[in-house]
Amino acid sequence: MVNPMSFRACLLLALTCTLGFAQDVTRVADVIYAKHDGVALTMDIFTPAKPNGAAVIKIISGGWNSNHNGINDGGWPKHGFTTFVVVHGTQPRFHIHEIVGDLQRSVRFIRAHAAKFGIDPDKIGVTGGSAGGHLSLMLGTRVLPANPKSKDPVEHVSSAVNAVACYYPPVDFLNWAKEGDSKEGAGPLTVRAPAFGPIVGTAEGRERAGRDLSPLYWISDKTPPTFIVQGDADPLVPDSQARRYHARAQEVGVKSDVLIRLGAAHGGWVEMAEDNVRMAEWFALHLLGKQPAQAFTYDVHSLPSTPAPAKAKK
């Protein structure tokens, strides 16, 4: 349960950033959304001068590792979105199923305090890349319902998000590049085994963890609109992952749009700036009803990519 005095004190420490962020964006740092196992989990909140009433949750995660280094607003406030940059517990101390639970709480925390943050509790989007993309999809597909009988008021609201836009997310741990290849040692169930915990020590446990933690198997007609951007030359996450997500979304009749960047690897292409704008349009459409200049296709489509220029060595 959040201490109201601590929460108010944190708000009083709001600072307008002078380095690395727009001058008209107000930042509140280190807002605690959960405490357990001797750890306080935090988020930074970036509020634009003219908020549009919608929120974007940006998950900081790479390989299910998360830290406060390099926290930034992702450019979302310049589009009017109040942005919540969330840090989660890092594997292997915290396993992926625990991380998902903590992030579900972060959504509940934001929704429970929506009035204080100046957002609509039913206009919450989520974004991330790689492991952050996977966790974004987990929030989109696995929802904790409101529990009005809980002693914790944060649990009186649900963990549902209303739109997802993410980069190169793992979606199916059981079938990585091809059907059944996880049994041959392909994918994170093997190469990132500590992140899943002891459960993956047996074949039965691997099957259970792979299914429970794969967004693909939780897509339903309640899943929010989802936009995925993926490179077809990604050495870490095969583009078949995004394609498989889209196929399943079509089966259940929920909105899904996938952009495949031809020749792109795991990030670092020139057009990512364009893709970020397109994601902002996705959130504006599905959270605010604002029509984009170019309609979304709700299909899998491809565009070429240009590798980012190499940085000069110092």
pLDDT tens digit sequence for 22-63: 469 999 999 999 999 999 999 999 999 999 999 999 999 999
Give dist(CA 286, CA 34) in Å, integer. 28
Nearest to 182 by CA among 167, 164, 196: 196
Residue 313 domain flag = no
Kindly report, residue by residue over 242-291, the tens digit of the pLDDT. Answer: 999 999 999 999 999 999 999 999 999 999 999 999 999 999 999 999 99
Residue 162 domain flag = yes
Residue 275 domain flag = yes
Give dist(CA 272, CA 310) in Å, integer. 15
Length in residues, the chain: 314
Residue 189 domain flag = no
Residue type, 232: D
Residue 23 domain flag = yes
Give dist(CA 48, CA 27) in Å, integer. 9
Structure tokens at 37: 């196992």
Rounded to the nearest 10°, the torsion over CA 94, 96, 98, 104 is 130
Does 160 score more than 50 pLDDT? Answer: yes
Give dist(CA 151, CA 1) in Å, integer. 8
Cα 162 vs. chain centroid, distance in angstroms? 12
Please state the domain count of the chain.
1
Residue 35: give the domain boundaries: 4-172+214-304
CATH of the domain at 46: 3.40.50.1820
Q: Model-level pTM?
A: 0.92
Structure tokens at 141: 């597909």
Residue 267 domain flag = yes
Q: What is the largest CA-CA distance in the chain?
A: 59
